[in-house]
Structure 1
Amino acid sequence: MSQNTRTYVSRLREGNAEATRLRIADATRELMLERGYAATTMAEIARSAGVAVQTLYSTCPGGKPALARLVHDVSLAGDARSVALADRPDVQGIVAEPDPAKKLALYAAMATGMFQRADPFQRVLQEAAVSDPVMRELLASTERQRLEGSEGPAEHLAEIGALRDGLSIDRARDQIYALTSFELFDRFVHTCGWTIPEFEEWLTRTLHAVLLAPRTQ
């Protein structure tokens, strides 16, 4: 078998696996939005996705909590590709942008898009976590990962000399983490009635104000 043929077969398999993950994620999301986490069964998800129950376990080891995590991850990313966040075009565009203020505008737009995609299912996870310790740990785990992930943009701003004087990377990370939380999005958009563009514009201005050195604003 030639190298080109092996590459083609490998890409075909990756594409098939991605399509299967997406079908499973879509079926899980639809059923859990309709019935809630607890009332949705693995058999129903498999039937809706058109796969065997065993395929659910092989695709997402860990059972129903792992499927909920898959939906969460797909909602944030916008697809089922196994591509690290740092390698995605949105993030690469932020890194490549030379203007720190524009970087944060792009970052705010990316975060707002994630909130919009994850919004309905986030409520399913939060409701399930009230009575399910496994789901509580899943949400706690995603928050820990969000905090860790917020260090990347903080370090990047520090490396290019854009952070406000006296602001450490740790404190910048903490503020990025807190400001880009689902809870803030939920309160502004659903409780206060802000539009999505209004929230994005506020997030952009607030990130600028707390993170950037005055000379970059």
Structure 2
Amino acid sequence: MEGTHKRRYVSDLRREHAEATRLRIAEAARALMIERGFAATTMGDVAAAAGVAVQTLYAACPGGKPGLVKLVYDVTLAGDGRQVPQSGRPPVQAIIEEPDPVRKLGLYAAMAVAILGRIGPVHRVLRAAAAAGGAGVGDLLDETERQRRTGSRRLAGHLAEVGALRAGLTADRAADEAYVLTSIEVYERFVDVCGWSVAAYEEWLARTLAGALLTP
């Protein structure tokens, strides 16, 4: 039994160390990419800024620079270095457990806005890199959109399961509406172009989602 506890302790320490390393690499790479752009950020620069060996960087980012970009995106999306899927994180569990559909969508809007605020600067860098032909960046952006659509389908399916979708609205159509309303493009139009505060956008998003998806 003592050996089991010791192995678990060592395993936990290794996991925590790996998560801390992932976070340090992602933060260093994100800062450099936002400052210099995608093309001007080298793997060597990131390793030096993160305080890790280049070999460690490549081990943490399989595939080289495209792998590094994916790590930056994933860590920024999650807000930490833990390798836990978004569906298993506390904000998603809180949405599922909330009994009131309007408050569910309020929590969903808050989660979406928090993610958009974190990911916005990275997304702009990646869009510019994809337009310039950055290796693997376009594929990554396509994959992130597929993941967003999957998340929207989960929300719509959950609302359908609890009988909250308005009459005549299919789960597929509800998923499409949630997907578009929570897009980075809509967020940027309101906040960056129209000058709305993030709080104002979040209130609008929650209200609009409820009006579009729920039974009055």
- Which bracket does the TM-score occupy, shorter chain normalised? over 0.9
1:137 is aligned to: 139
Question: Any gaps of 5 or more consecutive residues in structure 1?
Answer: none
TM-fit CA distance, 1:134 = 2.1
Instruction: Give a deviation string over 1:19-57, Cα, whole Å, max 9, x none.
Output: 000010011011111110001111111111111112122
1:176 is aligned to: 178
1:23 is aligned to: 24
Instruction: Give a deviation string over 1:92-144, Cα, whole Å, max 9, x none.
Output: 11111000000000000000001111111111111101012521121111111
- Work out the CA distance in 2 between the residues paired with 1:41 and 1:175: 39
TM-score, scaled to structure 2: 0.96
1:201 is aligned to: 203
SS of the aligned residue for 1:201 comes to: helix
Equivalent positions of 1:1-217 (< 5 A) are 2-132=3-133, 134-214=136-216
Amino acid across the alignment from 2:37: G
TM-fit CA distance, 1:186 = 0.5
Amino acid across the alignment from 1:120: P
TM-fit CA distance, 1:69 = 1.6
Aligned residues: 214
RMSD across aligned positions (CA): 1.0
TM-score, scaled to structure 1: 0.96
Amino acid across the alignment from 2:170: S
- Work out the CA distance in 2 between the residues paired with 1:193 and 1:65: 33
TM-fit CA distance, 1:147 = 0.9
- Work out the CA distance in 1 between the residues paired with 2:191 and 2:64: 33
- Work out the CA distance in 2 between the residues paired with 1:97 and 1:63: 41
